[in-house]
Structure 1
Amino acid sequence: MTDSVYIMAEQVHGKTLTLSTGRVIPTRWVGEQHVREDLGFIPSFADWARSIRAEPWMGRTQKIEAEVDPHLASPVREVI
């Protein structure tokens, strides 16, 4: 689970939660426990990235070398 998910949970619920017993626990810990119970482990970014299924539109890119490397760009013509 990415840090952004934990950050969002902290934005919604605050950095800590206070139990009815008065004990204060980190919101992130609750999120991690929830993920462990659902998945059995905390997935890494590599785990998450391996699970992405490539879609056809993801491979349709245009070459940007000319924009990045001025030596490959077409000569600039002055319009008068």
Structure 2
Amino acid sequence: MYHHTLGVWLCQKVFGVTITVCGKEIPVREIAERHIIEDLGWLPSPTDYFDGMPIKPWMSGPKTSDRPLSVLNLTPSQERTAP
């Protein structure tokens, strides 16, 4: 899900700019980019990654109201099962 350039940025936010391995500073960006390239063969942007993803109706939010679920005062379990 995060095999794109934004995922590399997120790795740096979570793990820091570098990590120390066996006393040597290694750039997290380099590790993340190499991992993605090994998995996919190239380093896509988020647009590249999501372009081929099918959009399902549930991804666009609730269809029963123009108001967001939080305005309807639903509990978290009700939000998960709301139509």
* TM-score interval, normalised by the smaller of the two chains: 0.5 to 0.7
- TM-score, normalised by the number of residues in structure 2: 0.53
After TM superposition, the runs of 4+ consecutive aligned structure 1 residues lying more than 4 A away are: 57-61
Please name the residue that 2:16 is paired with. 14
| Deviation (angstroms), 1:17 | 1.4
Count how many residue pairs are aligned between Structure 1 and Structure 2. 61
Task: In structure 1, list runs of 5 or more residues that go unmatched.
Answer: 62-80
- The structure with the greater share of residues assigned to helix is 2
Give the percent of matched residue pairs that are identical in Structure 1 and Structure 2.
36
Report the equivalent of 1:25: 26
Q: Give the TM-score, by structure 1 length.
A: 0.55
Q: Give structure 2 stretches of 5+ with no counterpart.
A: 64-83
RMSD after superposition? 2.7
By how many angstroms is 1:59 displaced? 7.2
Which one has more relative contact order, counting CA pairs under 8 Å at least 6 apart? 2
Q: Does 1:38 align with 2:39?
A: yes
